[in-house]
Structure 1
């Protein structure tokens, strides 16, 4: 087998791995980096535009964010926007739409009103939209048909214009790799069809056995989604953690029903995104509804059965895991949510069940107006901590302080790719005694 050494090897060519490669090239003195992707293209899985909500999560219309979380996320969300503007990617893979979170009924409308008063400090562009205002900017959330209006009280909070809301993170991943290779005059390489089978550390080197070679590295960052924990377990790390892969699916309307993003109020008990409707930038802005949330015994959704067997190896099922599952199902909200989302995946039943939920956004929606979005949606790993006995929501990250990092679930999703990269950079340069130009980094992303 051939063998080549790099200072840093990144496993996983999605948005997080691509952003890290770009940041290493642009802000550090690291001279040799390899990005390894097991499939034949950059961002083939969750970062692919068809596999996520294409949303820049700023915290303004995500009602499960606390004030402090929103304040942090608002800053993080500017980073991919700054990057896209620097390279003139607006209206290429980054777009501006109106956006809002819609409250339906007295309780949700009161929540929207109170959040507006508090959160406008962070987001001064926020507006409140009552039913009359919504008739002009998002008429399909108001009218049941061409004559009658919905009877419930509704109130929305959001931004009408001027905010970037939408990114094709797959296209952005490609740009990040290309720009990293352009910036660096050193040894920055992309290896496609490069499946890492095993990682071992011998002395001060990591040995990565792939499908056709052995690569060595001084430092390794694993950005492989659900497989990050799988590889960590192989190396003996984080044995107390397990993963519950949750697949998100979507439905397409047969026409454009919404002018912008319309989110629903989030149930705080649930870690999954509330149902929303968006103009899909990869489907001529047809309205796409979703995501659903289905627990799936696979680490990857569309790629054969290998990840099915790997899921059970990664789950490490025992009495502690069983108790966590039982405790989750005892909660009526969670149990009903899981049952409902299971129905969304069953042919013939799925559309009937889903349209009832989607009518909360578009009350005139009919069964014949939607179709299941085949091959759309990805898998997000939810981390289970056996020590705490809980399903842990939010970011999943294992920092070993031994030259290898495992990133599982970035928060808030792809939007946080540069924030995740910054954290990784700090660990990498400390471990390798390298230099990170933080002033240049801050100038690019925050000024």
Structure 2
């Protein structure tokens, strides 16, 4: 099915994950655009990194993410609050609300967390500092079996949102379709290529052509393939970092994070109840490089090669990155997690930092759990891009990876809605109404 070039869509969105559907929702409800389309290659929405099995199921606010600077945490708090405000109104079934904490173990970590609390409590006034006895009352398994001489400290938030981002994406699409506008959602319809066509854009699909005035490609790492095909992002490459999880019985009541390494854009090992089954505790993620843009999908190997960092400049960049001692040992350690027999025992030590009494027999590898984080590498500057990766072209936007991921999908949609005003004539975006409707006090 093709649409008439004389009647193009105002905006076409490629990608039906939480990023793409958030934009569809915002454009349908808060702009004067009348004709929108979203397409995705899968037959259901949110089948890749937004699927509940493929991410940390966390709404990140920046309070317990210890690799964030104060400025970054302030920014993330504001951005994530929009999604919390939305979920409380329209998608309560996607939320599992509990407490969350970041745990410091040992003198050095405790001192660092004390300092961090003093710095961050102005931005997060509801963040509480708790010690051994109070930790035990909330999470007894975090204290049981722990050496009495070992110092522990935690920063606690009572608003620990576990989110099923797949349900959120479906909710965004549902709310968008309620608007009295011409909105099409084509599932099971892949975008083969994107071409400039006179003043508009043409998307080639197996079922015909789609014409649009502007395009937003919200297809994760695949967005970079489309960008490169149009001459954008030539200096960028994708290093797909796959996260895996172990699972156990209900050891934890809420989310328990450990201290993160500041140089790394990856989450530290944490434990939390599964959003779909609170009697199951997930521990992870581990991190390893895979030559795939989608976890468990070997058909994305050729796609990886199109975005790969394995060019001469890319390999030089990787070498420069990996010779950093912190990053080198992090990579080695995570590679060891996959070594048969030895890997599980090695991971056990990390899990015991959270739950000291957990045993090897308690842990089971989570088959099918975990997605891929598209870590962007700038081969010209020879460094990892630590924040969001977004490319803004002429009449087209490519969302490769938001930071810190799905948590900021609505704020990312807000930013894109503002940006689209530079491409479209007679365009109106009611940002004030958007901010009012998604107000949330954290």
TM-score interval for Structure 1 and Structure 2 normalised by the shorter chain? over 0.9
| Aligned 8 A contact 1:242 1:316 in 2 | yes
Structure 1 residues 216, 347: closer, same or farther in 2, change over 3 A?
farther
Structure 1 residues 262, 110: closer, same or farther in 2, change over 3 A?
same
Task: Tell me the residue number matched to 1:386.
Answer: 379
Counterpart mapping for 1:51-66 below 5 A: 51-66=54-69
| Aligned 8 A contact 1:240 1:385 in 2 | yes
Deviation at 1:299, TM superposition (A): 1.0
Task: Tell me the residue number matched to 1:269.
Answer: 263
Computed over aligned residues only, the root mean square deviation of the Cα atoms, in angstroms, reads 1.4
Task: Tell me the residue number matched to 2:171.
Answer: 175
- 1:435 paired with 2:433, answer no
Cα separation, 2, equivalents of 1:213 and 1:344: 46
Deviation at 1:427, TM superposition (A): 1.5
Deviation at 1:150, TM superposition (A): 5.1
Give the counterpart of 2:196 among 189, 192, 201: 201
SS for the counterpart of 1:51 is: coil
Deviation at 1:316, TM superposition (A): 5.4
Task: Tell me the residue number matched to 2:151.
Answer: 153
| Aligned 8 A contact 1:81 1:164 in 2 | no
Structure 1 residues 316, 64: closer, same or farther in 2, change over 3 A?
closer
Give the counterpart of 1:423 among 405, 412, 415: 415
Task: Tell me the residue number matched to 2:143.
Answer: 142
| Aligned 8 A contact 1:98 1:260 in 2 | yes
| Aligned 8 A contact 1:142 1:150 in 2 | no
- 1:81 paired with 2:84, answer yes
Task: Tell me the residue number matched to 1:345.
Answer: 338
Deviation at 1:350, TM superposition (A): 2.7
Cα separation, 2, equivalents of 1:347 and 1:206: 50
SS for the counterpart of 1:336 is: helix
**Which runs of 5 or more structure 1 residues have no equivalent in the other structure?**
none
Cα separation, 2, equivalents of 1:286 and 1:240: 42
Counterpart mapping for 1:195-344 below 5 A: 195-253=190-248, 255-303=249-297, 305-315=298-308, 317-344=310-337
SS for the counterpart of 2:61 is: coil
| Aligned 8 A contact 1:242 1:385 in 2 | yes
Task: Tell me the residue number matched to 1:38.
Answer: 41
SS for the counterpart of 1:397 is: strand
Deviation at 1:259, TM superposition (A): 1.1
Deviations 1:332-359 (A, max 9, x none): 2212211221222344333112111111
Deviation at 1:168, TM superposition (A): 0.5
Cα separation, 2, equivalents of 1:105 and 1:331: 25
The TM-score normalised by the length of structure 2 is 0.96
Deviations 1:344-385 (A, max 9, x none): 234433311211111111111111001111111111111111
Task: Tell me the residue number matched to 2:351.
Answer: 358
Deviations 1:112-158 (A, max 9, x none): 111111211111111111112212111111122xxx64542111111
Deviation at 1:285, TM superposition (A): 3.6
Task: Tell me the residue number matched to 2:2.
Answer: 2
Cα separation, 1, equivalents of 2:309 and 2:349: 37
Cα separation, 2, equivalents of 1:234 and 1:315: 14
SS for the counterpart of 2:403 is: coil
SS for the counterpart of 1:174 is: helix
**Which runs of 5 or more structure 2 residues have no equivalent in the other structure?**
none
| Aligned 8 A contact 1:143 1:150 in 2 | no
SS for the counterpart of 1:375 is: coil
Task: Tell me the residue number matched to 2:398.
Answer: 406
